[in-house]
Amino acid sequence: MKFTIFYFSGTGNTWWVCREFAKIVNKSEHDAEFISIEQDDIQSMGYLQKKLQFTDALGIAYPIYGSTAPQIVWNFMESLEEASQKISIDFKENKKKRFGFILTTMALFSGDGALVLNDEMKKIAFPLLGAINIKMSSNISIPGFHYDPVEKEKLEKRKQKAQKKLKNFFKKLRNDKKKLEGRWNLLGKLGGWIQRKFMDWALNRTIDWNANMERCTKCMLCVKECPTDNITFENEAIRFLDKCTYCMRCYNFCPTHAISPREEIADPKKYKRHRGCTENFKLSILHD
Protein backbone atom coordinates (compact mmCIF):
# COMPACT_ATOMS: atom_id res chain seq x y z
CA MET A 1 0.00 0.00 0.00
CA LYS A 2 1.14 3.51 -0.74
CA PHE A 3 0.60 5.97 2.13
CA THR A 4 0.73 9.68 1.32
CA ILE A 5 0.39 12.23 4.10
CA PHE A 6 -0.17 15.91 3.41
CA TYR A 7 0.63 17.92 6.49
CA PHE A 8 0.68 21.41 7.88
CA SER A 9 2.81 22.21 10.90
CA GLY A 10 3.16 25.69 12.33
CA THR A 11 5.96 24.99 14.79
CA GLY A 12 7.20 21.45 14.18
CA ASN A 13 5.07 19.08 16.29
CA THR A 14 2.93 17.81 13.45
CA TRP A 15 5.95 17.47 11.18
CA TRP A 16 7.60 15.26 13.83
CA VAL A 17 4.51 13.07 14.16
CA CYS A 18 4.36 12.59 10.38
CA ARG A 19 8.03 11.73 10.25
CA GLU A 20 7.62 9.09 12.98
CA PHE A 21 4.53 7.63 11.33
CA ALA A 22 6.29 7.42 7.96
CA LYS A 23 9.24 5.64 9.62
CA ILE A 24 6.86 3.04 11.06
CA VAL A 25 5.15 2.45 7.72
CA ASN A 26 8.42 2.28 5.82
CA LYS A 27 9.72 -0.41 8.17
CA SER A 28 6.84 -2.62 7.00
CA GLU A 29 6.16 -3.92 3.50
CA HIS A 30 4.24 -0.69 2.83
CA ASP A 31 5.54 2.65 1.67
CA ALA A 32 4.93 6.16 3.03
CA GLU A 33 5.84 9.72 2.18
CA PHE A 34 4.83 12.93 3.93
CA ILE A 35 4.51 16.18 2.06
CA SER A 36 4.18 19.69 3.43
CA ILE A 37 1.22 21.64 2.05
CA GLU A 38 3.57 24.65 2.01
CA GLN A 39 5.69 23.07 -0.73
CA ASP A 40 5.66 24.88 -4.08
CA ASP A 41 4.51 21.72 -5.93
CA ILE A 42 1.23 21.80 -4.03
CA GLN A 43 0.11 24.72 -6.21
CA SER A 44 0.07 22.41 -9.23
CA MET A 45 -3.18 20.54 -9.94
CA GLY A 46 -1.25 17.99 -11.99
CA TYR A 47 0.98 17.22 -9.01
CA LEU A 48 -1.98 16.74 -6.67
CA GLN A 49 -3.80 14.55 -9.18
CA LYS A 50 -0.79 12.29 -9.57
CA LYS A 51 -0.45 11.96 -5.83
CA LEU A 52 -4.14 11.10 -5.47
CA GLN A 53 -4.01 8.58 -8.29
CA PHE A 54 -1.06 6.68 -6.88
CA THR A 55 -2.15 6.72 -3.24
CA ASP A 56 -4.02 3.97 -1.41
CA ALA A 57 -4.02 5.54 2.06
CA LEU A 58 -4.30 9.31 2.15
CA GLY A 59 -3.41 11.06 5.41
CA ILE A 60 -4.02 14.66 6.37
CA ALA A 61 -2.10 15.92 9.39
CA TYR A 62 -2.60 19.20 11.21
CA PRO A 63 -2.36 20.90 14.59
CA ILE A 64 -5.63 21.34 16.45
CA TYR A 65 -6.75 24.96 16.68
CA GLY A 66 -9.84 25.18 18.90
CA SER A 67 -11.00 21.64 18.02
CA THR A 68 -10.70 22.19 14.31
CA ALA A 69 -8.10 22.37 11.54
CA PRO A 70 -6.21 25.57 10.67
CA GLN A 71 -7.72 27.64 7.84
CA ILE A 72 -4.72 26.86 5.61
CA VAL A 73 -5.68 23.16 5.81
CA TRP A 74 -9.31 23.85 4.93
CA ASN A 75 -8.08 25.80 1.90
CA PHE A 76 -5.84 22.90 0.91
CA MET A 77 -8.79 20.49 1.10
CA GLU A 78 -10.56 22.64 -1.51
CA SER A 79 -7.57 22.24 -3.83
CA LEU A 80 -7.59 18.48 -3.25
CA GLU A 81 -11.28 18.34 -4.07
CA GLU A 82 -10.71 20.27 -7.28
CA ALA A 83 -7.85 17.93 -8.17
CA SER A 84 -9.93 14.82 -7.48
CA GLN A 85 -12.80 16.10 -9.66
CA LYS A 86 -10.47 16.36 -12.62
CA ILE A 87 -9.25 12.79 -12.35
CA SER A 88 -10.98 10.28 -14.62
CA ILE A 89 -14.09 8.53 -13.30
CA ASP A 90 -12.07 5.30 -13.17
CA PHE A 91 -10.34 6.60 -10.10
CA LYS A 92 -13.54 6.69 -8.08
CA GLU A 93 -15.02 3.53 -9.55
CA ASN A 94 -11.84 1.56 -9.24
CA LYS A 95 -12.51 -1.46 -7.03
CA LYS A 96 -9.19 -1.09 -5.25
CA LYS A 97 -9.80 -0.04 -1.67
CA ARG A 98 -8.68 3.44 -0.79
CA PHE A 99 -9.05 5.09 2.57
CA GLY A 100 -8.27 8.31 4.38
CA PHE A 101 -6.81 8.92 7.80
CA ILE A 102 -6.11 11.91 10.04
CA LEU A 103 -3.24 12.67 12.38
CA THR A 104 -3.58 15.70 14.60
CA THR A 105 -1.33 17.12 17.27
CA MET A 106 -2.56 19.07 20.25
CA ALA A 107 -1.58 20.36 23.66
CA LEU A 108 -4.48 19.34 25.86
CA PHE A 109 -7.93 18.81 24.35
CA SER A 110 -9.16 18.28 20.83
CA GLY A 111 -12.80 17.20 21.26
CA ASP A 112 -13.77 15.70 17.90
CA GLY A 113 -11.22 17.87 16.10
CA ALA A 114 -9.71 14.86 14.29
CA LEU A 115 -13.04 14.21 12.56
CA VAL A 116 -13.81 17.65 11.14
CA LEU A 117 -12.57 16.74 7.64
CA ASN A 118 -14.81 13.67 7.42
CA ASP A 119 -16.99 15.10 4.63
CA GLU A 120 -14.01 16.49 2.72
CA MET A 121 -12.34 13.07 2.74
CA LYS A 122 -15.51 11.44 1.41
CA LYS A 123 -15.72 14.01 -1.38
CA ILE A 124 -12.25 13.13 -2.61
CA ALA A 125 -13.06 9.40 -2.41
CA PHE A 126 -10.79 8.61 0.53
CA PRO A 127 -13.38 7.88 3.27
CA LEU A 128 -11.98 8.03 6.79
CA LEU A 129 -10.85 4.76 8.29
CA GLY A 130 -8.82 6.28 11.09
CA ALA A 131 -8.30 9.52 12.98
CA ILE A 132 -6.19 10.07 16.07
CA ASN A 133 -4.92 12.96 18.20
CA ILE A 134 -1.35 13.01 19.45
CA LYS A 135 -0.59 15.01 22.57
CA MET A 136 2.57 17.07 22.12
CA SER A 137 3.42 20.52 23.49
CA SER A 138 1.61 23.82 23.45
CA ASN A 139 2.78 26.45 20.98
CA ILE A 140 0.33 29.08 22.14
CA SER A 141 1.56 30.96 25.17
CA ILE A 142 0.41 34.53 24.68
CA PRO A 143 -1.44 37.08 26.79
CA GLY A 144 -5.04 35.82 26.70
CA PHE A 145 -4.08 32.19 25.88
CA HIS A 146 -1.37 31.55 28.44
CA TYR A 147 -0.50 27.90 28.00
CA ASP A 148 3.26 27.30 28.22
CA PRO A 149 5.05 24.51 26.33
CA VAL A 150 5.91 21.47 28.44
CA GLU A 151 9.42 20.97 29.84
CA LYS A 152 11.90 18.90 27.83
CA GLU A 153 11.59 15.78 29.99
CA LYS A 154 7.82 15.75 29.77
CA LEU A 155 7.98 16.29 26.04
CA GLU A 156 10.29 13.29 25.65
CA LYS A 157 7.78 11.14 27.55
CA ARG A 158 4.98 12.38 25.34
CA LYS A 159 7.03 11.59 22.26
CA GLN A 160 7.56 8.02 23.46
CA LYS A 161 3.84 7.64 24.07
CA ALA A 162 3.19 9.10 20.65
CA GLN A 163 5.44 6.54 18.98
CA LYS A 164 3.52 3.69 20.63
CA LYS A 165 0.20 5.20 19.66
CA LEU A 166 1.32 5.65 16.06
CA LYS A 167 2.47 2.02 15.87
CA ASN A 168 -0.92 0.79 17.10
CA PHE A 169 -2.69 3.12 14.74
CA PHE A 170 -0.74 1.79 11.78
CA LYS A 171 -1.61 -1.79 12.80
CA LYS A 172 -5.30 -0.88 12.80
CA LEU A 173 -5.11 0.78 9.40
CA ARG A 174 -3.22 -2.04 7.72
CA ASN A 175 -5.75 -4.53 9.12
CA ASP A 176 -8.62 -2.43 7.78
CA LYS A 177 -9.95 -1.70 11.30
CA LYS A 178 -11.73 1.57 12.07
CA LYS A 179 -10.25 3.88 14.69
CA LEU A 180 -11.98 7.25 14.84
CA GLU A 181 -11.10 9.13 18.02
CA GLY A 182 -13.82 11.38 19.39
CA ARG A 183 -16.57 9.56 17.49
CA TRP A 184 -18.54 8.32 20.49
CA ASN A 185 -17.40 10.86 23.05
CA LEU A 186 -20.45 13.10 23.45
CA LEU A 187 -18.77 15.42 25.94
CA GLY A 188 -15.81 15.75 23.59
CA LYS A 189 -18.17 16.54 20.73
CA LEU A 190 -19.93 19.19 22.78
CA GLY A 191 -16.60 20.66 23.92
CA GLY A 192 -15.38 20.65 20.33
CA TRP A 193 -18.52 22.37 19.10
CA ILE A 194 -18.22 25.09 21.75
CA GLN A 195 -14.53 25.64 21.00
CA ARG A 196 -15.20 25.89 17.27
CA LYS A 197 -17.93 28.47 17.88
CA PHE A 198 -15.71 30.75 19.92
CA MET A 199 -12.16 30.21 18.72
CA ASP A 200 -12.22 32.57 15.72
CA TRP A 201 -13.85 35.26 17.78
CA ALA A 202 -11.34 34.78 20.62
CA LEU A 203 -8.33 34.76 18.29
CA ASN A 204 -9.49 37.87 16.44
CA ARG A 205 -9.95 39.60 19.73
CA THR A 206 -6.65 38.49 21.23
CA ILE A 207 -4.26 38.65 18.30
CA ASP A 208 -3.34 41.81 16.49
CA TRP A 209 0.28 41.12 15.52
CA ASN A 210 2.79 43.81 16.09
CA ALA A 211 6.57 43.90 15.62
CA ASN A 212 8.52 46.15 17.92
CA MET A 213 11.08 47.72 15.58
CA GLU A 214 13.38 48.60 18.45
CA ARG A 215 13.90 44.90 19.10
CA CYS A 216 13.71 43.79 15.46
CA THR A 217 17.08 43.08 13.83
CA LYS A 218 15.52 42.96 10.33
CA CYS A 219 16.65 39.36 9.91
CA MET A 220 13.54 38.75 7.74
CA LEU A 221 12.98 35.28 9.17
CA CYS A 222 9.32 36.05 9.83
CA VAL A 223 8.78 37.43 6.30
CA LYS A 224 10.40 34.36 4.75
CA GLU A 225 8.79 31.72 6.94
CA CYS A 226 5.18 32.89 7.27
CA PRO A 227 3.13 30.15 5.56
CA THR A 228 0.51 32.58 4.25
CA ASP A 229 2.79 35.45 3.17
CA ASN A 230 1.09 37.55 5.78
CA ILE A 231 4.23 39.45 6.80
CA THR A 232 5.93 42.17 4.78
CA PHE A 233 8.74 44.64 5.32
CA GLU A 234 7.82 48.14 4.17
CA ASN A 235 9.19 51.55 5.05
CA GLU A 236 11.63 50.06 7.53
CA ALA A 237 8.85 48.28 9.44
CA ILE A 238 7.49 44.75 9.71
CA ARG A 239 3.80 44.76 8.77
CA PHE A 240 1.07 42.15 9.05
CA LEU A 241 -1.70 41.71 6.47
CA ASP A 242 -5.02 39.95 7.06
CA LYS A 243 -4.19 36.39 5.93
CA CYS A 244 -2.96 35.02 9.25
CA THR A 245 -3.67 31.32 9.90
CA TYR A 246 -2.61 31.76 13.56
CA CYS A 247 0.16 29.18 13.35
CA MET A 248 2.30 31.10 15.91
CA ARG A 249 5.45 30.51 13.87
CA CYS A 250 6.55 34.13 13.71
CA TYR A 251 5.79 34.66 17.38
CA ASN A 252 7.65 31.58 18.61
CA PHE A 253 10.67 31.81 16.32
CA CYS A 254 11.47 35.52 16.13
CA PRO A 255 15.02 35.46 17.52
CA THR A 256 14.59 38.69 19.49
CA HIS A 257 10.98 38.12 20.61
CA ALA A 258 10.04 41.30 18.78
CA ILE A 259 6.71 39.91 17.56
CA SER A 260 3.82 40.13 19.93
CA PRO A 261 0.08 39.66 19.69
CA ARG A 262 -0.59 43.11 21.07
CA GLU A 263 1.20 46.39 21.65
CA GLU A 264 2.60 45.04 24.90
CA ILE A 265 5.66 42.78 24.67
CA ALA A 266 5.01 39.19 25.65
CA ASP A 267 8.00 38.67 27.93
CA PRO A 268 9.61 35.33 26.89
CA LYS A 269 10.35 34.54 30.54
CA LYS A 270 6.66 34.78 31.32
CA TYR A 271 5.25 33.51 28.02
CA LYS A 272 7.52 30.68 26.93
CA ARG A 273 8.17 30.17 23.22
CA HIS A 274 7.99 26.77 21.52
CA ARG A 275 10.74 26.22 18.96
CA GLY A 276 10.06 22.74 17.65
CA CYS A 277 10.26 19.44 19.46
CA THR A 278 13.69 18.22 18.31
CA GLU A 279 17.24 19.49 18.94
CA ASN A 280 18.43 22.08 16.40
CA PHE A 281 15.04 22.22 14.73
CA LYS A 282 15.08 24.24 11.48
CA LEU A 283 11.94 25.88 10.10
CA SER A 284 12.95 25.19 6.50
CA ILE A 285 12.06 21.52 7.02
CA LEU A 286 8.39 22.55 7.22
CA HIS A 287 8.22 23.59 3.58
CA ASP A 288 11.11 21.89 1.74
- The residues of the shown chain that bind ligand SF4, judged by CB under 6 A, are 209, 211, 216-222, 226-228, 230-231, 238, 240, 244-250, 254-256, 258-259
CA distance 173 to 134: 16
Q: Select the binding partner of residue 216 from ligand FMN, ligand SF4, none (C-beta < 5 to 8 A, by kind).
A: ligand SF4
Closest approach of ligand FMN to the CB of residue 60, in Å: 13
What is the H or E stretch that residue 198 is in?
Answer: helix 186-206
Q: Is there a contact between 115 and 131 (Cβ–Cβ < 8 Å)?
A: yes
Q: Which residues of 231-257 are buried (b: 16+ CB within 10 A; e: fewer)?
A: beeeeeebebeeebbbbbbbbbbbeeb
User: To the nearest whole angstrom, how small is the minimum distance from the Cβ of residue 228 to ligand SF4?
Assistant: 5
Candidates 41, 206, 60, 27; CA nearest to 126 is: 60
How long a stretch of residues is the chain? 288
Stretch 133-152: interaction string toward ligand FMN, x if CB under 6 A: ---xxxxx------------
Q: Which of 4, 11, 36, 84 binds ligand FMN (CB under 6 A)?
A: 11
Question: In 3D, which of 78, 172, 82, 167 has the Cα closest to residue 117?
Answer: 78
Minimum CB separation from ligand FMN for residue 86, in Å? 30
x-or-dash string of contact with ligand FMN, 168-207, rule CB under 6 A: ---------------------------x-------x----
**Positions that interact with ligand FMN (CB under 6 A):** 9-14, 63-67, 105-110, 136-140, 195, 203, 246-248
